[in-house]
Amino acid sequence: AAVFVAGIGSVVSIYFAIQVPKKIAEEQNKISLFDKRYEVFQLFERCVSFNKALQNSETINDMRKDCMLLFDELKYEELDFKIVMKKIYIFEHTLHQMEFLFPGTSEKDVHELYSSLWKVLMAIIGDENVNECKKDYFNTVSEFAHKYHKKIWNELALANM
Protein backbone atom coordinates (compact mmCIF):
# COMPACT_ATOMS: atom_id res chain seq x y z
CA ALA A 1 0.00 0.00 0.00
CA ALA A 2 2.84 2.38 0.85
CA VAL A 3 4.42 1.72 -2.57
CA PHE A 4 1.09 2.45 -4.24
CA VAL A 5 0.70 5.76 -2.39
CA ALA A 6 4.30 6.69 -3.19
CA GLY A 7 3.67 5.85 -6.86
CA ILE A 8 0.56 8.04 -6.98
CA GLY A 9 2.50 10.81 -5.21
CA SER A 10 5.23 10.55 -7.85
CA VAL A 11 2.72 10.70 -10.71
CA VAL A 12 1.01 13.74 -9.16
CA SER A 13 4.38 15.44 -8.62
CA ILE A 14 5.43 14.80 -12.22
CA TYR A 15 2.07 16.07 -13.51
CA PHE A 16 2.40 19.36 -11.62
CA ALA A 17 6.07 19.65 -12.54
CA ILE A 18 4.98 19.58 -16.20
CA GLN A 19 1.89 21.78 -15.81
CA VAL A 20 3.57 24.73 -14.07
CA PRO A 21 6.17 25.41 -16.81
CA LYS A 22 3.50 24.80 -19.44
CA LYS A 23 1.21 27.38 -17.81
CA ILE A 24 4.08 29.88 -17.56
CA ALA A 25 4.93 29.36 -21.25
CA GLU A 26 1.28 29.89 -22.24
CA GLU A 27 1.17 33.13 -20.26
CA GLN A 28 4.42 34.31 -21.82
CA ASN A 29 3.01 33.55 -25.29
CA LYS A 30 -0.11 35.60 -24.48
CA ILE A 31 2.02 38.51 -23.29
CA SER A 32 4.20 38.32 -26.40
CA LEU A 33 1.16 38.21 -28.68
CA PHE A 34 -0.39 41.16 -26.87
CA ASP A 35 2.86 43.15 -27.19
CA LYS A 36 3.05 42.51 -30.93
CA ARG A 37 -0.61 43.34 -31.46
CA TYR A 38 -0.30 46.48 -29.36
CA GLU A 39 2.68 47.70 -31.40
CA VAL A 40 0.70 47.34 -34.63
CA PHE A 41 -2.36 48.89 -33.01
CA GLN A 42 -0.30 51.90 -31.88
CA LEU A 43 0.94 52.51 -35.43
CA PHE A 44 -2.62 52.23 -36.74
CA GLU A 45 -3.79 54.74 -34.12
CA ARG A 46 -1.00 57.10 -35.18
CA CYS A 47 -2.20 56.75 -38.79
CA VAL A 48 -5.71 57.68 -37.62
CA SER A 49 -4.40 60.67 -35.65
CA PHE A 50 -2.32 61.77 -38.63
CA ASN A 51 -5.43 61.49 -40.81
CA LYS A 52 -7.48 63.65 -38.42
CA ALA A 53 -4.72 66.24 -38.21
CA LEU A 54 -4.42 66.41 -42.01
CA GLN A 55 -8.14 67.08 -42.34
CA ASN A 56 -7.74 70.27 -40.32
CA SER A 57 -4.60 71.44 -42.11
CA GLU A 58 -4.84 73.79 -45.03
CA THR A 59 -1.24 74.74 -45.79
CA ILE A 60 1.65 72.51 -46.78
CA ASN A 61 3.58 73.70 -43.73
CA ASP A 62 0.72 72.64 -41.44
CA MET A 63 0.65 69.24 -43.16
CA ARG A 64 4.40 68.87 -42.74
CA LYS A 65 4.01 69.57 -39.04
CA ASP A 66 1.27 66.91 -38.95
CA CYS A 67 3.78 64.40 -40.33
CA MET A 68 5.60 64.65 -37.04
CA LEU A 69 2.82 62.56 -35.51
CA LEU A 70 4.54 59.71 -37.36
CA PHE A 71 8.11 60.95 -36.95
CA ASP A 72 7.73 62.02 -33.36
CA GLU A 73 11.37 61.81 -32.33
CA LEU A 74 12.47 64.45 -34.84
CA LYS A 75 11.64 67.97 -35.95
CA TYR A 76 10.45 68.40 -39.53
CA GLU A 77 13.61 70.30 -40.42
CA GLU A 78 15.67 67.26 -39.39
CA LEU A 79 13.90 64.92 -41.78
CA ASP A 80 15.67 63.93 -44.93
CA PHE A 81 14.68 61.48 -47.63
CA LYS A 82 16.84 58.69 -46.17
CA ILE A 83 15.26 58.98 -42.71
CA VAL A 84 11.75 59.12 -44.18
CA MET A 85 12.34 56.04 -46.33
CA LYS A 86 13.79 54.10 -43.40
CA LYS A 87 10.80 55.00 -41.22
CA ILE A 88 8.32 54.17 -43.99
CA TYR A 89 9.96 50.75 -44.37
CA ILE A 90 9.39 50.18 -40.65
CA PHE A 91 5.75 51.27 -41.06
CA GLU A 92 5.34 48.81 -43.93
CA HIS A 93 6.84 45.95 -41.92
CA THR A 94 4.69 46.77 -38.89
CA LEU A 95 1.42 47.24 -40.77
CA HIS A 96 1.86 44.07 -42.81
CA GLN A 97 1.91 42.06 -39.58
CA MET A 98 -1.77 42.95 -39.15
CA GLU A 99 -3.11 40.11 -41.24
CA PHE A 100 -1.26 37.60 -39.04
CA LEU A 101 -1.93 39.24 -35.69
CA PHE A 102 -5.54 40.24 -36.29
CA PRO A 103 -7.45 37.39 -37.98
CA GLY A 104 -9.89 38.56 -40.61
CA THR A 105 -7.76 41.53 -41.66
CA SER A 106 -7.31 41.56 -45.42
CA GLU A 107 -3.78 41.73 -46.83
CA LYS A 108 -5.19 43.84 -49.68
CA ASP A 109 -6.70 46.35 -47.25
CA VAL A 110 -3.49 46.52 -45.21
CA HIS A 111 -1.51 47.10 -48.40
CA GLU A 112 -3.89 49.90 -49.42
CA LEU A 113 -3.49 51.50 -45.99
CA TYR A 114 0.28 51.39 -46.21
CA SER A 115 0.30 52.51 -49.85
CA SER A 116 -1.92 55.52 -49.18
CA LEU A 117 0.23 56.45 -46.17
CA TRP A 118 3.37 56.26 -48.29
CA LYS A 119 1.79 58.33 -51.08
CA VAL A 120 0.52 61.09 -48.81
CA LEU A 121 3.87 61.37 -47.03
CA MET A 122 5.73 61.58 -50.33
CA ALA A 123 3.20 64.11 -51.64
CA ILE A 124 3.57 66.33 -48.58
CA ILE A 125 7.35 66.12 -48.54
CA GLY A 126 7.59 66.74 -52.31
CA ASP A 127 4.67 69.19 -52.38
CA GLU A 128 3.05 67.37 -55.33
CA ASN A 129 -0.53 66.08 -55.68
CA VAL A 130 -1.05 66.82 -51.98
CA ASN A 131 -4.82 67.31 -52.01
CA GLU A 132 -5.43 64.20 -54.14
CA CYS A 133 -3.21 62.03 -51.92
CA LYS A 134 -4.70 63.55 -48.77
CA LYS A 135 -8.21 62.70 -49.98
CA ASP A 136 -7.14 59.14 -50.89
CA TYR A 137 -5.51 58.70 -47.48
CA PHE A 138 -8.62 59.99 -45.71
CA ASN A 139 -10.85 57.55 -47.62
CA THR A 140 -8.50 54.61 -47.08
CA VAL A 141 -8.07 55.20 -43.35
CA SER A 142 -11.81 55.77 -42.90
CA GLU A 143 -12.69 52.55 -44.75
CA PHE A 144 -10.04 50.56 -42.91
CA ALA A 145 -11.15 51.88 -39.51
CA HIS A 146 -14.79 51.16 -40.33
CA LYS A 147 -13.96 47.57 -41.33
CA TYR A 148 -11.39 46.65 -38.71
CA HIS A 149 -11.29 48.96 -35.69
CA LYS A 150 -13.74 46.84 -33.67
CA LYS A 151 -11.99 43.58 -34.66
CA ILE A 152 -8.62 45.01 -33.62
CA TRP A 153 -9.98 46.12 -30.25
CA ASN A 154 -11.58 42.72 -29.69
CA GLU A 155 -8.34 40.88 -30.45
CA LEU A 156 -6.40 43.16 -28.10
CA ALA A 157 -8.91 42.39 -25.37
CA LEU A 158 -8.64 38.64 -26.01
CA ALA A 159 -4.85 38.69 -25.95
CA ASN A 160 -4.93 40.59 -22.68
CA MET A 161 -6.96 37.88 -20.90
Q: What are the pLDDT digits (tens) for 34-53?
A: 999 999 999 999 999 999 99
Q: Over the chain, what is the mean pLDDT?
A: 86
Question: Residue 113 pLDDT > 70, yes or no?
Answer: yes
d(CA 120, CA 133): 5
Stated pTM of the model: 0.80
Q: Which of 105, 111, 96 is nearest to 39 (CA)?
A: 96
Amino acid at 34: F
